[in-house]
Amino acid sequence: MLRTDFALPEANLTDLAIPAKPALVDPFGRAIRYLRVSVTDRCDFRCVYCMAEDMAFLPKRDLLTLEELDRLCSAFMLRGTKKLRLTGGEPLMRRDVMTLFRRLSRHLRSGALDELTLTTNGSQLAKYAKELVDCGVRRVNVSVDTLDAAKFRLLTRRGDLALVLEGIDAAQDAGLAVKINAVALRHVNEDEFIPLTEWAHERGMDITFIEVMPLGEIDGQRVDQYIPLTQVTGNLAERFTLEPVAYATGGPARYMRAQETGGRIGFITPLTHNFCESCNRVRVTCTGTLFMCLGQEDAADLRAPLRASEGDELLHQAIEAAIARKPKGHDFIIDRATQMPAVSRHMSMTGG
Ligand code: SAM
Ligand code: SF4
């Protein structure tokens, strides 16, 4: 049952100009505060762990329009979402995505939203960094798995590392706090965990290592890519003195501090550590499908209620019904016997 026994403070909703609605709380008592929205499934890269070389992208008509994305995000804010992350695919590849950022920024000004942020591959950051700051964005996550330009091109199947590094420069110059995301990959960046961390910390950036997750069919086998993060920590401990820190961003990462640099290192370990108990997140795809858990197939269509009427009542009903089904957790597994992806959709669809 959905808890409806408390409403959101009126003051937070001035800009939304609609009566307060009950906050969204799932059957396990977790309030939904964090929404991740994939604004496009397209990308200018084809990272080997994320996509197949010949990905078939969705027809444009299936995507939510920017107006629909705005309505959908605003509906979640009315129900208690305080943090919104736009992702993809590559969010900065969506045509006119800045219009969406600009519109959503009104919720930062009104206080309905605490944080508007994005996860990007960085290729378009040089172009958009200043505008993002103007829209109230203060932090960005940029994915960099290797600092070797040749390896980077192979791994992304087309990316230009220099362009991404320029993007990071532009973001920092514009005043954005940058956090680096690096997926730990066997035979790819095993020798770079220390250099990547040194580079990030020298530039005042946190870095988070991510275990590769079994999402979507790719060319090749996950078991060949997977490294448990215990191996990453073991490797980092040869160079850094790691101390646990209480820092939390509302995301699933657990943080350590490297005493030598003073910088933070995050670890996202969906496979070796169950991070579900405190999960306050849900995800929406660019077609308006709401996933209550990254690692489960159950989903709810929000596009039909969005398109069925100009008002948002049907949308709210669909969101409530879906949150009432949010599962307790996922059960990812990667091993030789289980070579099928845990869920069939790619990370670029649900958004990382
Ligand atoms: N294109 C943007 C980017 O690369 O940052 C945003 C979308 S991408 C899907 C978000 C994050 O998911 C990236 O940090 C990426 O490395 C990570 N990712 C993609 N596929 C993954 C997988 N199978 N397992 C773990 N992380 C994955
Ligand atoms: Fe594109 Fe990001 Fe997936 Fe790489 S990880 S292919 S940059 S969506």
DSSP per residue, 127-168 = HHHHHHHHTT--EEEEE---S-HHHHHHHHSS--HHHHHHHH
Q: Which of 44, 50, 141, 181 to mutate to test the pocket of ligand 2 (most atoms within 8 A of CB)?
A: 50
What pLDDT, on a 0 to 100 scale, did the predictor assign at position 266?
94
0.75 cut: is pTM over it?
yes
d(CA 183, CA 191): 13
What pLDDT, on a 0 to 100 scale, did the predictor assign at position 276?
73
Q: How far apart are the first and last CA of the chain?
A: 28
Ligand closest to CA 39: 1
Task: For residue 90, report the distance from its CA to the centre of ligand 2, in Å.
Answer: 6
Residue 51 beta carbon below 6 angstroms from any ligand 2 atom? yes
Tell me if residue 4 falls in helix, strand or coil.
Answer: coil
Task: For residue 89, report the distance from its CA to the centre of ligand 2, in Å.
Answer: 6
Which atom of ligand 2 lies closest to the CA of 347? 3
Task: For residue 280, report the distance from its CA to the centre of ligand 1, in Å.
Answer: 20
Q: What is the pLDDT of residues 29-57, one digit of tens each?
A: 989 999 999 999 999 999 998 999 999 99
What pLDDT, on a 0 to 100 scale, did the predictor assign at position 8?
39
Pairing relation of β-strands 281-284 and 139-143?
Answer: unpaired
Token pair, residue 143, equals 């994915």
What pLDDT, on a 0 to 100 scale, did the predictor assign at position 298?
85
**CA dist 38 to 94, 122, 152, 226, 250, Å?**
10, 16, 24, 25, 18
Of all protein residues, the one whose alpha carbon is nearest to atom 7 of ligand 1 is 88
Task: For residue 12, report the distance from its CA to the centre of ligand 1, in Å.
Answer: 32
Secondary element (H or E) of residue 254? strand 254-258
Which atom of ligand 1 lies closest to the CA of 270? 25
List, for the chain, all residue ranges whose pLDDT scores fall below the cut of 70: 1-20, 214-223, 249-251, 270-275, 330-352
Q: Which of 138, 101, 81, 113 is nearest to 15 (CA)?
A: 113
What pLDDT, on a 0 to 100 scale, did the predictor assign at position 11?
38
- The domains of the chain are located at 34-350
What pLDDT, on a 0 to 100 scale, did the predictor assign at position 72?
98
As assigned by CATH, the class of the 34-350 domain is alpha beta
